[in-house]
Amino acid sequence: MTEFNTRDLVTILPELVFLGSIGAILIVDLFIKPSQRIVTHVLSILALAVTAGFVWSAAPAERVTAFGGMFVVDMIATTLKLAVLLTTALALVYGRHYMQERKLLVGEFYLLILFATLGMLLLVSAGNLVTAYLGLELLALSSYALVALNRDSAIAAEAAIKYFVLGALASGMLLYGMSMVYGATGTLDLARIVAATPDVQHPNLLAVGVVFIVVGVAFKLGAVPFHMWLPDVYHGAPTAVTTFIGSAPKLAAFGLAYRLLEDGLGGMSPHWSQMLAILAVLSLAVGNLFAIAQTNLKRMLAYSTISHVGFLLLGFVGATPAGYAAAMFYAVAYALTAVVAFGMIALLARAGFEADEIDDFKGLNQRSPWYAAVMATIMFSLAGVPPLFGFFAKLLVLKSAVDAGYLWLAIVAIVFAIVGLFYYLRVVKVMYFDDAIEGGTLVLPADRPLRWVLSVNGIALLGLGFASGPLFAWCNRAFGL
Amino acid sequence: MISEYFPVLLFLAVAAVIGIALLVLGNVLGPKKAVAEKLAPYECGFEAFEDARMRFDVRYYLVAILFILFDLEVAFLIPWAVVFEDVGLPALVAMGIFLLILTVGFIYEWKKGALEWE
């Protein structure tokens, strides 16, 4: 039996603090009136901030493991955790007004998001297949329930069922792959799996395991051809929930892919990099082409997510630290952009009006030049127009793919990025050049934090574009470059 | 070696005798007044044969989920109690934390009214 070690608890302290806070918030929320839900809101954001403080101050200079290698804290985990906590806090700020107007602002909205966040923190720190699966399921189960939060809505229920069934299927695939890997290497520990890879007795068994793990990861990322759940879930879920699901879990999915494929199956990279290259091409093609046909902005952003996943995978195909650093930069940039894009829909929505059709943005410039400008910034950033944040993210993954010898893949990505420009620019066009639909008056919510934080986040996409050098240097350092 | 399994054989024999004896006694001594419900395969409050798409109370699920939660708690507690002397104080603290988390969940379900049937 491994001896109990107090240092292990120190390593996992941010997560313990977070879990304790969630328990406290759960109890507090039970004993307050629905009209006082602001208490839960403030406490939740406070819990995220305090946890971020602990993650930051407890960040070790080098890789530290706890509980016999089950839990890993390194700079990659720290970076992803900080980004996850920030994005989740933003999603909470953007979602409050939307949920309140629809009488959906229940304590469970906060608690499920917090539990999902705890799952993500665990996931990005996984040093063992069991820890990875545990974190993944905590994230996934909370997300299924979040999508179904508006239980009177037929499309929300449909989305939740689809999400649950396909998510369970994906988890099954992943588990099956994990069992194969365990069968081939005889260990669940990621570091030992990678050490055992060169001299396994049955390389074919390991290869089959890799295939299933790639399928499971692709499901969770939403890469084509495992993307079917994504548009329905993004569309069917309440916008506030989409804001969360569409942003922070992408960071966690990057963490999952990195931990499993590189930390655990790095020795099998010639196998999985081919698969990821195909997934990337399909995601870029399907995501960008199908997004053109959408009239609903949430669905369009869902297909845009799929294409962004394609870009994210470009960083993986080379299986080099430089590629992972670029992919991590991409994941952070995408999460910070997606959260504000969905937040914008939540901002314009009001009781009985979802504001999720592209036509709902017609003439936004006449009604509110400021928010039209913010929305245009977001769209340009998603499209990858210089000098915005999204441009540098795209540039870096493309560069990493070219450096890794995947020139053809980079060319495909650029072609589809240009195709993608069309539908992002269409949103900008309807805002600036079309007349508002009659009767479509703009009523902005009085929720000041929502308006201010959203504006800052939108403008930050420009600022972060200029500041992307230090950020990328940070990502490079995380991967030891 | 094989003789070590003698108690198992004995157990199987006693179990078989008791099982058969109870069935035979029930058949020989019991009154037989057949009605449709008694002859139905299951007596659980539902019709044995009807359309599969029927409504039933979601509270059954709730009770089942709550049962599984507390069932698992016992499944954790028993092995812990068996090796308690070997694992010592840290395990006591760990189990205390586990029960604390479970209590938080219990307070939640109580306050939400999950334990009220009507």
Number of structural domains chain A divides into: 1
* Record: contact A30-B90, CB cut-off 8 A: no
The percent of residues above 70 in pLDDT, for chain A, comes to 98
- Which residues of chain B does A27 touch, with a Cβ-Cβ cutoff of 8 Å? 104, 107-108
With beta carbons less than 8 A apart as the criterion, state whether A117 and A248 touch. yes
> What are the angstrom distances between the C-alpha of A362 and each of A147, A365, A375, A439?
28, 8, 12, 12
Domain that holds residue B77: 55-118
Check residue A472 and give its pLDDT: 92
Q: What pLDDT, on the 0 to 100 scale, is given for residue B48? A: 64
Residue A364 is which amino acid?
L
Whether residues A30 and B104 touch (CB distance < 8 A) is answered with: no
Is position B19 within any domain? no
Q: What is the pLDDT of residue A131?
A: 95
Nearest CB neighbour to B104, from listed A1, A4, A26 = A26
For residue B64, being part of any structural domain is answered with: yes
Q: What is the pTM of this model?
A: 0.89
Q: Is the pLDDT of residue B22 over 50?
A: yes
Q: A109-152, pLDDT tens digit by residue?
A: 999 999 999 999 999 999 999 999 999 999 999 999 999 999 88
- Closest Cα in chain B, distance from residue A98 (Å): 24
- Under the banding of pLDDT at 50, 70 and 90, the label for residue A1 is very low
Q: Do A27 and B107 touch (CB under 8 A)?
A: yes
Cβ partners under 8 Å of residue B6, min gap 6: none
Distance, in angstroms, between B83 CA and closest chain A CA? 12
Residues of chain A in contact with residue B104, where contact means CB-CB under 8 angstroms, are 23, 26-27
The number of distinct structural domains making up chain B is: 1
Q: Residue A1: inside a domain, yes or no?
A: no
Integer Cα distance of A393 and A413 in angstroms: 13
pLDDT at B93 over 80: yes
In a domain, A385, yes or no: yes
Q: Which domain holds residue A348?
A: 6-478
In a domain, A444, yes or no: yes
Question: Which residues are bridge partners to A73 per DSSP?
Answer: A64
pLDDT band at residue B44, thresholds of 50, 70 and 90? low
In the prediction, which pLDDT does A440 show?
58
Of A4, A23, A30, which has the smallest distance from its Cβ to B101's Cβ?
Answer: A23
Distance from the Cα of B108 to chain A's closest Cα (Å) equals: 7
Does B115 reside within a domain?
yes
Mean pLDDT of chain A: 92
Residues from A in contact with B at Cβ < 8 Å = 1, 4, 19, 23, 26-27, 30-31
Taking the CA of residue A10 and the nearest CA in chain B, the distance in Å comes to: 15
A135 with A119: CB under 8 angstroms? yes
pLDDT of residue A398: 95
Domain membership of residue B112 (yes or no) is yes
Residue A416 has pLDDT above 70, yes or no: yes
| A180-230 pLDDT, tens digit each | 999 999 999 999 999 999 888 888 899 999 999 999 999 999 998 999 999
pLDDT of res. A467:
87
pLDDT for res A408: 94
In B, minimum Cα distance to A29 occurs at: B108
Average pLDDT over residues A27-54: 94
Q: How confident is the model at residue A449 (pLDDT cuts 50, 70, 90)?
A: confident
pLDDT at A427 over 50: yes
d(CA A308, CA A333): 11
Residue A52 has pLDDT above 70, yes or no: yes
Asked if residue A2 has pLDDT above 70, the reply is no
Question: What are the residues whose beta carbons fall under 8 Å from the beta carbon of A247, sequence distance 6 or more?
Answer: A87, A90, A91, A335, A336, A338, A339, A342
The answer as to whether B118 is a domain residue is yes
B98 belongs to a structural domain: yes
Position B12 in a domain:
no
Q: Please report whether residue A69 resides in a domain.
A: yes
> Count of CB atoms within 10 A of residue A28's CB?
14
**Inter-chain touch A31–B111, beta carbons under 8 Å:** yes
% helix / strand / coil in chain A, to the nearest 5? 80, 5, 20
Average pLDDT over residues B33-61: 73
Label residue A419 exposed, middle or buried (CB < 10 Å: 0-12, 13-18, 19+).
middle
Residues of B in contact with A31 (CB under 8 A): 111
Residue A243 has pLDDT above 60, yes or no: yes
The predicted structure's pLDDT at residue A356: 87
Cα of B111 to nearest chain A Cα, Å: 7
Question: Does residue A367 belong to any structural domain of this protein?
Answer: yes
pLDDT at B42 over 70: no
Q: Which of A8-17, A32-41, A398-407, B41-50 bottoms out in mean pLDDT, i.e. has the lowest?
A: B41-50
pLDDT in tens, A168-178: 999 999 999 99
Does residue B113 form part of some domain? yes
> Could you tell me which chain B residue has the CA closest to the CA of A20?
B101
Within 8 A of A118 by CB-CB distance, chain B residues are: none
Nearest to A424, CA basis, from A261, A301, A332: A301
- Does residue A256 carry a pLDDT above 90? yes
Identify which of B87, B100, B107 has the shortest CB distance to residue A30: B107
Helix, coil or strand: residue A171: helix
Q: How far is B101 from chain A (nearest CA, A)?
A: 7
Q: Which of A19, A23, A30 comes nearest B111 by C-beta?
A: A30
pLDDT of residue A439 exceeding 60? no
Q: How confident is the model at residue B4 (pLDDT cuts 50, 70, 90)?
A: confident
- Test A27 with B112 for CB contact under 8 angstroms: no
Token pair listed for A397: 């993954």
User: Which residues in chain A have their CB less than 8 angstroms from residue B112's CB?
Assistant: 30
Query: What is the residue type of A97?
Result: H
